[in-house]
Amino acid sequence: MDLEEFRRRAHEIVDFVADYLENVERFPVRSPVRPGEIAARLPDRAPEEPEAFERLMADVEQIVLPGLTHWQHPRFLAFFPANSSPPSVLGEILTAGFAVNALIWQGSPAATEMETVVLDWLRREIGLPEGFRGVIQTTASEATLAALLVAREKATGWRSNEEGLAGGPPLAVYASEEAHSSVEKDVGIAGIGRGNLRRIPTDDALAMQPEALEAAIREDLERGIRPCAIVATLGTTGVGACDPLRPIGEIARRHDVFLHVDAAWAGSALILPEWRHLADGVELVDSFVFNPHKWLMTNFDCSAHFVRDADALIRTFSILPPYLRSAETGRVIDYRDWGIPLGRRFRALKLWFVLRLYGLEGLRAILRRHIELARELAGWIDREPGFVRVTGPHLALVTVRFEPEGLDPERTEALNRALPEAVNRDGRTMVTPHIVRGRAVTRLCVGQTSTERRHVEEAWRAVVEVARDLEARLRAGEELPVG
Protein backbone atom coordinates (compact mmCIF):
# COMPACT_ATOMS: atom_id res chain seq x y z
CA MET A 1 0.00 0.00 0.00
CA ASP A 2 1.59 3.27 -1.05
CA LEU A 3 1.01 6.48 0.86
CA GLU A 4 -1.53 7.81 -1.62
CA GLU A 5 -3.67 4.73 -1.17
CA PHE A 6 -3.08 4.85 2.58
CA ARG A 7 -4.37 8.43 2.64
CA ARG A 8 -7.55 7.43 0.80
CA ARG A 9 -8.17 4.29 2.83
CA ALA A 10 -7.50 6.04 6.11
CA HIS A 11 -10.26 8.55 5.32
CA GLU A 12 -12.59 5.67 4.50
CA ILE A 13 -11.73 3.94 7.75
CA VAL A 14 -12.37 7.07 9.79
CA ASP A 15 -15.76 7.41 8.06
CA PHE A 16 -16.42 3.76 8.81
CA VAL A 17 -15.65 4.24 12.50
CA ALA A 18 -17.76 7.40 12.72
CA ASP A 19 -20.68 5.55 11.06
CA TYR A 20 -20.15 2.63 13.43
CA LEU A 21 -20.32 4.88 16.48
CA GLU A 22 -23.35 6.73 15.07
CA ASN A 23 -25.20 3.44 14.53
CA VAL A 24 -23.85 1.28 17.34
CA GLU A 25 -27.22 1.40 19.15
CA ARG A 26 -28.70 -0.78 16.41
CA PHE A 27 -26.59 -3.77 17.35
CA PRO A 28 -27.33 -6.21 20.18
CA VAL A 29 -24.92 -5.13 22.92
CA ARG A 30 -23.39 -8.58 23.35
CA SER A 31 -22.32 -10.49 20.28
CA PRO A 32 -24.86 -13.27 19.67
CA VAL A 33 -22.38 -15.62 17.98
CA ARG A 34 -21.61 -19.08 19.36
CA PRO A 35 -18.09 -20.23 20.28
CA GLY A 36 -16.09 -21.12 17.18
CA GLU A 37 -18.46 -19.37 14.76
CA ILE A 38 -16.06 -16.56 13.84
CA ALA A 39 -13.00 -18.80 13.57
CA ALA A 40 -14.94 -21.11 11.26
CA ARG A 41 -15.46 -18.19 8.86
CA LEU A 42 -11.76 -17.40 8.64
CA PRO A 43 -9.48 -19.30 6.26
CA ASP A 44 -6.98 -21.80 7.68
CA ARG A 45 -3.98 -20.10 6.09
CA ALA A 46 -2.77 -16.57 5.43
CA PRO A 47 -3.13 -15.44 1.80
CA GLU A 48 -0.11 -15.88 -0.45
CA GLU A 49 -1.06 -12.94 -2.65
CA PRO A 50 -2.25 -9.47 -1.59
CA GLU A 51 -6.01 -9.13 -1.43
CA ALA A 52 -8.24 -6.23 -2.42
CA PHE A 53 -9.01 -3.69 0.30
CA GLU A 54 -12.71 -3.83 -0.58
CA ARG A 55 -12.80 -7.59 0.10
CA LEU A 56 -11.11 -7.05 3.42
CA MET A 57 -13.61 -4.40 4.47
CA ALA A 58 -16.49 -6.59 3.33
CA ASP A 59 -15.20 -9.22 5.75
CA VAL A 60 -14.93 -6.62 8.49
CA GLU A 61 -18.65 -5.98 8.04
CA GLN A 62 -19.71 -9.58 7.58
CA ILE A 63 -17.37 -11.46 9.90
CA VAL A 64 -15.97 -8.99 12.44
CA LEU A 65 -19.00 -6.83 13.24
CA PRO A 66 -21.30 -9.75 14.17
CA GLY A 67 -18.56 -11.03 16.45
CA LEU A 68 -18.17 -7.77 18.37
CA THR A 69 -19.52 -7.11 21.80
CA HIS A 70 -20.18 -3.40 21.61
CA TRP A 71 -18.38 -1.88 24.57
CA GLN A 72 -19.06 1.58 23.14
CA HIS A 73 -22.80 0.90 23.01
CA PRO A 74 -24.56 3.47 25.19
CA ARG A 75 -26.65 0.73 26.81
CA PHE A 76 -23.54 -1.22 27.85
CA LEU A 77 -23.83 -1.62 31.63
CA ALA A 78 -21.58 -4.65 32.10
CA PHE A 79 -18.23 -5.03 33.89
CA PHE A 80 -16.66 -1.60 34.21
CA PRO A 81 -16.75 0.58 31.12
CA ALA A 82 -13.78 0.55 28.76
CA ASN A 83 -14.15 4.11 27.61
CA SER A 84 -13.17 5.37 24.25
CA SER A 85 -13.92 8.81 22.81
CA PRO A 86 -13.33 10.64 19.53
CA PRO A 87 -10.40 12.65 20.96
CA SER A 88 -8.80 9.49 22.28
CA VAL A 89 -9.22 7.66 18.97
CA LEU A 90 -7.57 10.58 17.17
CA GLY A 91 -4.66 10.39 19.60
CA GLU A 92 -4.42 6.65 18.96
CA ILE A 93 -4.30 7.23 15.21
CA LEU A 94 -1.33 9.52 15.69
CA THR A 95 0.34 7.02 18.01
CA ALA A 96 -0.08 4.29 15.40
CA GLY A 97 1.13 6.63 12.68
CA PHE A 98 4.25 7.76 14.53
CA ALA A 99 4.82 4.18 15.71
CA VAL A 100 7.70 5.07 17.99
CA ASN A 101 9.00 2.79 20.68
CA ALA A 102 9.58 4.82 23.84
CA LEU A 103 11.58 2.17 25.67
CA ILE A 104 14.19 4.77 26.60
CA TRP A 105 14.11 8.55 26.50
CA GLN A 106 16.03 8.59 23.22
CA GLY A 107 13.40 6.28 21.77
CA SER A 108 11.29 9.43 21.62
CA PRO A 109 11.84 12.29 24.03
CA ALA A 110 8.32 13.61 23.36
CA ALA A 111 6.73 10.32 24.42
CA THR A 112 8.71 10.16 27.66
CA GLU A 113 8.39 13.80 28.65
CA MET A 114 4.72 14.03 27.77
CA GLU A 115 4.04 10.93 29.88
CA THR A 116 5.77 12.58 32.83
CA VAL A 117 3.89 15.85 32.45
CA VAL A 118 0.44 14.47 31.70
CA LEU A 119 0.64 12.05 34.62
CA ASP A 120 1.62 14.90 36.86
CA TRP A 121 -1.50 16.76 35.70
CA LEU A 122 -3.54 13.70 36.67
CA ARG A 123 -1.73 13.30 39.99
CA ARG A 124 -2.73 16.80 40.97
CA GLU A 125 -6.34 16.34 39.86
CA ILE A 126 -6.92 13.13 41.81
CA GLY A 127 -5.42 14.64 44.96
CA LEU A 128 -2.16 12.73 45.28
CA PRO A 129 0.52 14.77 47.06
CA GLU A 130 3.46 16.29 45.25
CA GLY A 131 6.40 13.91 45.21
CA PHE A 132 4.35 11.02 43.80
CA ARG A 133 5.56 10.27 40.29
CA GLY A 134 3.61 8.59 37.54
CA VAL A 135 4.06 6.06 34.76
CA ILE A 136 1.58 4.57 32.31
CA GLN A 137 1.36 0.81 32.74
CA THR A 138 -0.56 -1.43 30.41
CA THR A 139 -3.21 -2.52 32.90
CA ALA A 140 -4.08 -2.27 36.56
CA SER A 141 -3.14 -5.93 36.88
CA GLU A 142 0.35 -5.09 35.69
CA ALA A 143 0.65 -1.99 37.88
CA THR A 144 -0.34 -4.04 40.93
CA LEU A 145 2.25 -6.66 39.99
CA ALA A 146 4.89 -3.93 39.65
CA ALA A 147 3.91 -2.60 43.08
CA LEU A 148 4.08 -6.07 44.62
CA LEU A 149 7.51 -6.64 43.14
CA VAL A 150 8.77 -3.42 44.71
CA ALA A 151 7.20 -4.46 48.01
CA ARG A 152 8.83 -7.89 47.71
CA GLU A 153 12.23 -6.33 47.10
CA LYS A 154 11.85 -4.03 50.09
CA ALA A 155 10.60 -6.80 52.37
CA THR A 156 13.60 -8.97 51.48
CA GLY A 157 16.22 -6.26 51.89
CA TRP A 158 16.52 -5.96 48.06
CA ARG A 159 17.57 -9.59 47.72
CA SER A 160 14.61 -11.32 46.05
CA ASN A 161 15.44 -10.26 42.49
CA GLU A 162 18.95 -11.65 42.84
CA GLU A 163 18.47 -14.66 45.06
CA GLY A 164 14.82 -15.58 44.74
CA LEU A 165 12.60 -16.17 47.75
CA ALA A 166 13.76 -19.63 48.78
CA GLY A 167 16.20 -18.60 51.52
CA GLY A 168 14.03 -16.10 53.40
CA PRO A 169 10.93 -16.23 55.57
CA PRO A 170 7.58 -16.52 53.81
CA LEU A 171 6.00 -13.20 52.83
CA ALA A 172 2.33 -12.28 53.16
CA VAL A 173 0.08 -9.89 51.24
CA TYR A 174 -3.22 -8.52 52.56
CA ALA A 175 -6.29 -7.55 50.54
CA SER A 176 -9.98 -7.56 51.28
CA GLU A 177 -12.13 -10.52 50.38
CA GLU A 178 -13.67 -8.25 47.73
CA ALA A 179 -10.34 -7.35 46.08
CA HIS A 180 -10.00 -8.00 42.36
CA SER A 181 -8.80 -11.40 41.15
CA SER A 182 -5.73 -9.70 39.63
CA VAL A 183 -4.32 -9.31 43.16
CA GLU A 184 -4.35 -13.06 43.68
CA LYS A 185 -2.91 -13.62 40.21
CA ASP A 186 -0.16 -11.07 40.86
CA VAL A 187 0.73 -12.54 44.27
CA GLY A 188 1.22 -15.87 42.52
CA ILE A 189 3.29 -14.40 39.69
CA ALA A 190 5.45 -12.50 42.18
CA GLY A 191 6.44 -15.83 43.72
CA ILE A 192 4.93 -14.91 47.07
CA GLY A 193 2.45 -17.75 46.78
CA ARG A 194 -1.31 -17.40 46.45
CA GLY A 195 -1.61 -19.22 49.75
CA ASN A 196 0.09 -16.25 51.38
CA LEU A 197 -2.62 -13.82 50.29
CA ARG A 198 -4.69 -13.01 53.36
CA ARG A 199 -8.29 -12.22 52.47
CA ILE A 200 -9.35 -9.66 55.06
CA PRO A 201 -13.04 -9.67 56.04
CA THR A 202 -15.25 -6.76 55.08
CA ASP A 203 -17.85 -4.72 56.92
CA ASP A 204 -21.52 -4.17 56.03
CA ALA A 205 -20.47 -1.85 53.19
CA LEU A 206 -18.14 -4.60 51.88
CA ALA A 207 -15.06 -2.49 52.66
CA MET A 208 -11.97 -3.90 54.37
CA GLN A 209 -12.11 -3.98 58.18
CA PRO A 210 -8.92 -2.29 59.42
CA GLU A 211 -9.01 -4.12 62.79
CA ALA A 212 -9.12 -7.46 60.99
CA LEU A 213 -6.19 -6.33 58.84
CA GLU A 214 -4.12 -5.45 61.88
CA ALA A 215 -5.01 -8.74 63.56
CA ALA A 216 -3.89 -10.66 60.46
CA ILE A 217 -0.59 -8.80 60.33
CA ARG A 218 0.08 -9.45 64.01
CA GLU A 219 -0.75 -13.12 63.63
CA ASP A 220 1.69 -13.45 60.72
CA LEU A 221 4.42 -11.66 62.66
CA GLU A 222 3.95 -14.06 65.56
CA ARG A 223 4.31 -17.00 63.15
CA GLY A 224 7.52 -15.65 61.63
CA ILE A 225 5.84 -14.62 58.38
CA ARG A 226 6.94 -11.25 57.00
CA PRO A 227 4.11 -8.85 56.03
CA CYS A 228 5.08 -7.57 52.61
CA ALA A 229 2.23 -5.52 51.12
CA ILE A 230 -1.34 -4.41 51.62
CA VAL A 231 -3.51 -3.91 48.56
CA ALA A 232 -6.47 -1.65 49.34
CA THR A 233 -9.24 -1.15 46.82
CA LEU A 234 -11.11 2.02 45.94
CA GLY A 235 -14.16 0.82 44.04
CA THR A 236 -14.29 -2.95 44.29
CA THR A 237 -15.25 -4.78 41.13
CA GLY A 238 -18.34 -6.40 42.60
CA VAL A 239 -20.10 -3.50 44.25
CA GLY A 240 -17.79 -0.46 44.12
CA ALA A 241 -16.90 -0.50 47.83
CA CYS A 242 -14.01 1.66 49.03
CA ASP A 243 -11.56 0.44 51.66
CA PRO A 244 -10.82 3.13 54.27
CA LEU A 245 -7.34 4.36 53.32
CA ARG A 246 -6.58 6.38 56.45
CA PRO A 247 -6.79 3.61 59.06
CA ILE A 248 -5.26 1.14 56.62
CA GLY A 249 -2.44 3.60 55.90
CA GLU A 250 -1.79 4.06 59.61
CA ILE A 251 -1.55 0.30 60.07
CA ALA A 252 0.80 0.07 57.08
CA ARG A 253 3.03 2.75 58.61
CA ARG A 254 2.94 1.17 62.07
CA HIS A 255 4.13 -2.16 60.72
CA ASP A 256 6.27 -0.77 57.89
CA VAL A 257 4.26 -2.59 55.21
CA PHE A 258 4.07 -1.34 51.62
CA LEU A 259 0.58 -0.03 50.74
CA HIS A 260 -0.71 -0.18 47.17
CA VAL A 261 -4.15 1.11 46.17
CA ASP A 262 -6.10 -0.46 43.33
CA ALA A 263 -8.51 2.27 42.22
CA ALA A 264 -8.84 0.85 38.72
CA TRP A 265 -12.36 2.17 38.12
CA ALA A 266 -13.18 4.58 40.96
CA GLY A 267 -9.92 6.51 40.70
CA SER A 268 -11.29 8.56 37.81
CA ALA A 269 -14.02 9.92 40.09
CA LEU A 270 -11.36 11.61 42.20
CA ILE A 271 -11.20 14.39 39.60
CA LEU A 272 -14.55 15.39 41.13
CA PRO A 273 -13.88 17.44 44.26
CA GLU A 274 -17.14 16.22 45.81
CA TRP A 275 -15.82 12.61 45.72
CA ARG A 276 -12.29 13.23 46.94
CA HIS A 277 -13.30 12.10 50.42
CA LEU A 278 -13.27 8.52 49.09
CA ALA A 279 -9.49 8.73 49.08
CA ASP A 280 -9.10 10.29 52.51
CA GLY A 281 -5.69 9.19 53.79
CA VAL A 282 -4.19 8.75 50.31
CA GLU A 283 -1.10 10.64 51.43
CA LEU A 284 -0.20 7.53 53.47
CA VAL A 285 0.01 5.14 50.51
CA ASP A 286 3.11 4.02 48.60
CA SER A 287 1.55 3.21 45.27
CA PHE A 288 -1.73 4.00 43.53
CA VAL A 289 -3.19 2.88 40.21
CA PHE A 290 -6.27 3.89 38.30
CA ASN A 291 -7.35 3.27 34.73
CA PRO A 292 -8.16 6.20 32.46
CA HIS A 293 -8.98 3.33 30.08
CA LYS A 294 -11.94 2.48 32.26
CA TRP A 295 -13.74 5.70 33.10
CA LEU A 296 -11.79 8.65 31.73
CA MET A 297 -12.71 8.52 28.04
CA THR A 298 -9.30 7.12 27.09
CA ASN A 299 -8.86 4.03 24.93
CA PHE A 300 -7.41 0.87 26.36
CA ASP A 301 -4.56 0.57 27.32
CA CYS A 302 -3.79 3.32 29.78
CA SER A 303 -3.25 2.62 33.48
CA ALA A 304 -1.99 5.58 35.47
CA HIS A 305 0.36 4.27 38.15
CA PHE A 306 1.80 6.59 40.79
CA VAL A 307 4.51 5.79 43.30
CA ARG A 308 5.83 7.68 46.30
CA ASP A 309 9.36 6.39 45.85
CA ALA A 310 10.26 6.21 42.16
CA ASP A 311 13.82 5.21 43.08
CA ALA A 312 12.50 2.01 44.65
CA LEU A 313 10.54 1.23 41.49
CA ILE A 314 13.60 1.84 39.34
CA ARG A 315 15.82 -0.18 41.64
CA THR A 316 13.39 -3.08 41.30
CA PHE A 317 13.22 -3.05 37.51
CA SER A 318 16.41 -1.50 36.22
CA ILE A 319 18.80 -3.61 34.16
CA LEU A 320 21.25 -1.87 31.87
CA PRO A 321 22.68 -3.92 29.01
CA PRO A 322 25.11 -2.06 26.73
CA TYR A 323 22.59 -1.76 23.90
CA LEU A 324 20.23 0.30 26.07
CA ARG A 325 22.85 2.77 27.21
CA SER A 326 22.70 6.26 25.81
CA ALA A 327 24.42 9.59 26.35
CA GLU A 328 21.52 10.59 28.61
CA THR A 329 21.37 7.45 30.78
CA GLY A 330 20.93 8.50 34.38
CA ARG A 331 19.99 12.09 33.48
CA VAL A 332 16.56 11.40 32.01
CA ILE A 333 13.62 9.10 32.66
CA ASP A 334 13.88 5.75 30.88
CA TYR A 335 10.43 4.31 31.45
CA ARG A 336 11.63 0.79 30.65
CA ASP A 337 12.95 0.90 34.25
CA TRP A 338 9.51 1.68 35.65
CA GLY A 339 7.76 -1.58 34.93
CA ILE A 340 7.81 -4.99 33.30
CA PRO A 341 7.91 -4.49 29.50
CA LEU A 342 10.82 -3.01 27.64
CA GLY A 343 9.00 -1.69 24.57
CA ARG A 344 6.38 0.99 25.10
CA ARG A 345 3.79 2.69 22.91
CA PHE A 346 3.33 6.45 22.99
CA ARG A 347 0.26 6.15 25.21
CA ALA A 348 0.39 9.59 26.77
CA LEU A 349 -0.67 11.12 23.47
CA LYS A 350 -4.28 9.92 23.64
CA LEU A 351 -4.51 11.03 27.26
CA TRP A 352 -3.17 14.45 26.27
CA PHE A 353 -5.80 14.66 23.51
CA VAL A 354 -8.55 13.69 25.95
CA LEU A 355 -7.47 16.15 28.64
CA ARG A 356 -7.03 19.00 26.18
CA LEU A 357 -10.09 18.46 24.00
CA TYR A 358 -12.54 17.80 26.86
CA GLY A 359 -10.82 19.89 29.48
CA LEU A 360 -11.17 18.78 33.08
CA GLU A 361 -14.59 20.40 33.26
CA GLY A 362 -15.76 18.42 30.23
CA LEU A 363 -14.62 15.17 31.82
CA ARG A 364 -16.16 16.07 35.16
CA ALA A 365 -19.49 16.76 33.43
CA ILE A 366 -19.50 13.27 31.87
CA LEU A 367 -18.64 11.52 35.15
CA ARG A 368 -21.26 13.53 37.01
CA ARG A 369 -23.83 12.56 34.38
CA HIS A 370 -23.01 8.87 34.86
CA ILE A 371 -23.21 9.15 38.64
CA GLU A 372 -26.51 11.02 38.45
CA LEU A 373 -27.92 8.42 36.03
CA ALA A 374 -26.99 5.63 38.46
CA ARG A 375 -28.76 7.55 41.20
CA GLU A 376 -31.88 7.80 39.01
CA LEU A 377 -31.61 4.12 38.18
CA ALA A 378 -31.56 3.36 41.90
CA GLY A 379 -34.84 5.29 42.22
CA TRP A 380 -36.43 3.28 39.39
CA ILE A 381 -35.29 0.04 41.02
CA ASP A 382 -36.83 1.08 44.32
CA ARG A 383 -40.14 1.87 42.65
CA GLU A 384 -40.34 -1.32 40.58
CA PRO A 385 -42.48 -3.95 42.38
CA GLY A 386 -40.53 -7.06 43.32
CA PHE A 387 -37.06 -5.57 42.75
CA VAL A 388 -34.63 -5.05 45.59
CA ARG A 389 -31.59 -2.79 45.41
CA VAL A 390 -28.84 -4.80 47.10
CA THR A 391 -25.93 -2.33 46.96
CA GLY A 392 -25.25 1.16 45.72
CA PRO A 393 -25.33 3.35 43.98
CA HIS A 394 -21.63 3.48 44.72
CA LEU A 395 -20.58 6.16 42.29
CA ALA A 396 -22.21 4.74 39.13
CA LEU A 397 -22.58 1.10 40.19
CA VAL A 398 -25.74 -0.60 41.46
CA THR A 399 -26.62 -4.23 42.17
CA VAL A 400 -30.16 -5.52 42.13
CA ARG A 401 -32.21 -8.65 42.80
CA PHE A 402 -35.65 -9.67 41.65
CA GLU A 403 -37.67 -11.16 44.50
CA PRO A 404 -41.24 -11.49 43.28
CA GLU A 405 -43.88 -12.02 45.92
CA GLY A 406 -44.83 -15.58 46.68
CA LEU A 407 -41.78 -17.20 45.08
CA ASP A 408 -39.90 -19.48 47.47
CA PRO A 409 -36.25 -18.65 48.30
CA GLU A 410 -34.84 -21.48 46.22
CA ARG A 411 -36.65 -20.49 43.05
CA THR A 412 -35.94 -16.81 43.72
CA GLU A 413 -32.25 -17.61 43.82
CA ALA A 414 -32.54 -19.71 40.64
CA LEU A 415 -34.26 -16.78 38.96
CA ASN A 416 -31.52 -14.35 39.96
CA ARG A 417 -28.77 -16.73 38.85
CA ALA A 418 -30.40 -17.02 35.44
CA LEU A 419 -31.24 -13.33 35.04
CA PRO A 420 -27.94 -11.75 33.84
CA GLU A 421 -27.40 -14.31 31.08
CA ALA A 422 -31.02 -13.98 29.96
CA VAL A 423 -30.66 -10.19 29.84
CA ASN A 424 -27.47 -10.47 27.81
CA ARG A 425 -29.06 -12.91 25.41
CA ASP A 426 -31.91 -10.45 24.92
CA GLY A 427 -29.30 -8.00 23.64
CA ARG A 428 -30.85 -4.65 24.51
CA THR A 429 -28.34 -4.15 27.28
CA MET A 430 -25.47 -6.05 28.83
CA VAL A 431 -25.01 -6.64 32.55
CA THR A 432 -22.71 -8.67 34.80
CA PRO A 433 -23.62 -11.42 37.27
CA HIS A 434 -22.24 -11.20 40.78
CA ILE A 435 -22.74 -12.79 44.19
CA VAL A 436 -23.18 -10.56 47.24
CA ARG A 437 -23.05 -12.33 50.61
CA GLY A 438 -23.97 -15.60 48.93
CA ARG A 439 -26.93 -14.24 46.94
CA ALA A 440 -26.98 -13.77 43.17
CA VAL A 441 -27.33 -10.19 41.98
CA THR A 442 -27.37 -8.40 38.66
CA ARG A 443 -24.74 -5.71 38.49
CA LEU A 444 -25.31 -2.54 36.49
CA CYS A 445 -22.58 0.03 35.93
CA VAL A 446 -23.27 3.26 34.05
CA GLY A 447 -20.23 4.76 32.37
CA GLN A 448 -20.09 4.48 28.62
CA THR A 449 -18.94 7.74 27.06
CA SER A 450 -22.19 8.50 25.20
CA THR A 451 -24.72 7.06 27.66
CA GLU A 452 -27.71 9.35 28.22
CA ARG A 453 -30.78 9.05 30.41
CA ARG A 454 -32.88 7.33 27.74
CA HIS A 455 -30.30 4.58 27.35
CA VAL A 456 -30.32 3.74 31.05
CA GLU A 457 -34.12 3.84 31.03
CA GLU A 458 -34.27 1.48 28.03
CA ALA A 459 -31.72 -0.83 29.59
CA TRP A 460 -33.62 -0.96 32.87
CA ARG A 461 -36.89 -1.69 31.03
CA ALA A 462 -35.13 -4.59 29.32
CA VAL A 463 -33.95 -6.00 32.67
CA VAL A 464 -37.47 -5.74 34.11
CA GLU A 465 -39.12 -7.37 31.09
CA VAL A 466 -36.63 -10.23 30.95
CA ALA A 467 -36.96 -10.79 34.72
CA ARG A 468 -40.76 -10.92 34.55
CA ASP A 469 -40.58 -13.33 31.63
CA LEU A 470 -38.29 -15.61 33.65
CA GLU A 471 -40.69 -15.41 36.57
CA ALA A 472 -43.59 -16.48 34.35
CA ARG A 473 -41.56 -19.43 33.02
CA LEU A 474 -40.59 -20.47 36.53
CA ARG A 475 -44.16 -20.32 37.74
CA ALA A 476 -45.17 -22.43 34.73
CA GLY A 477 -42.81 -25.10 36.07
CA GLU A 478 -39.90 -24.56 33.68
CA GLU A 479 -36.34 -25.17 34.86
CA LEU A 480 -34.16 -22.11 34.26
CA PRO A 481 -30.66 -22.49 32.87
CA VAL A 482 -28.01 -21.08 35.19
CA GLY A 483 -25.67 -18.60 33.53
Catalog residues that contact ligand PLP under the rule CB under 6 A: 80, 139-141, 180, 182, 233, 237, 262, 264-265, 291, 303
Of the candidates 112, 132, 115, the residue with the CA atom closest to the CA atom of residue 123: 132
Minimum distance from CB of 445 to ligand PLP (Å)?
Answer: 10
Q: Which is nearer to ligand PLP, 73 or 305 (CB)?
A: 305
CA of residue 262 relative to chain centroid, distance: 9
Q: Which is nearer to ligand PLP, 265 or 387 (CB)?
A: 265
CB atoms within 10 A of CB 432: 20
Of the candidates 236, 240, 234, the residue with the CA atom closest to the CA atom of residue 278: 234
Q: Which is nearer to ligand PLP, 112 or 236 (CB)?
A: 236
Burial 36-50 (b: 16+ CB within 10 A, else e): eeeeeeeeeeeeeee
Minimum distance from CB of 142 to ligand PLP (Å)?
Answer: 7
Minimum distance from CB of 451 to ligand PLP (Å)?
Answer: 18
Q: Which is nearer to ligand PLP, 81 or 249 (CB)?
A: 81
Minimum distance from CB of 85 to ligand PLP (Å)?
Answer: 18
174 φ/ψ angles, rounded to the nearest 5 degrees: -125, 130
Minimum distance from CB of 411 to ligand PLP (Å)?
Answer: 31
**Sheet of strand 303-307: strand arrangement:** 133-137, 303-307, 287-290, 258-262, 226-233, 171-176, 197-200
Q: Which is nearer to ligand PLP, 84 or 291 (CB)?
A: 291
Q: Which is nearer to ligand PLP, 132 or 265 (CB)?
A: 265
Separation of alpha carbons 450 and 363, rounded Å: 12
Minimum distance from CB of 371 to ligand PLP (Å)?
Answer: 17
Which is it for the CA torsion 37, 41, 44, 47, positive or negative?
A: negative
Minimum distance from CB of 302 to ligand PLP (Å)?
Answer: 9
Separation of alpha carbons 298 and 91, rounded Å: 9
Q: Which is nearer to ligand PLP, 186 or 334 (CB)?
A: 186
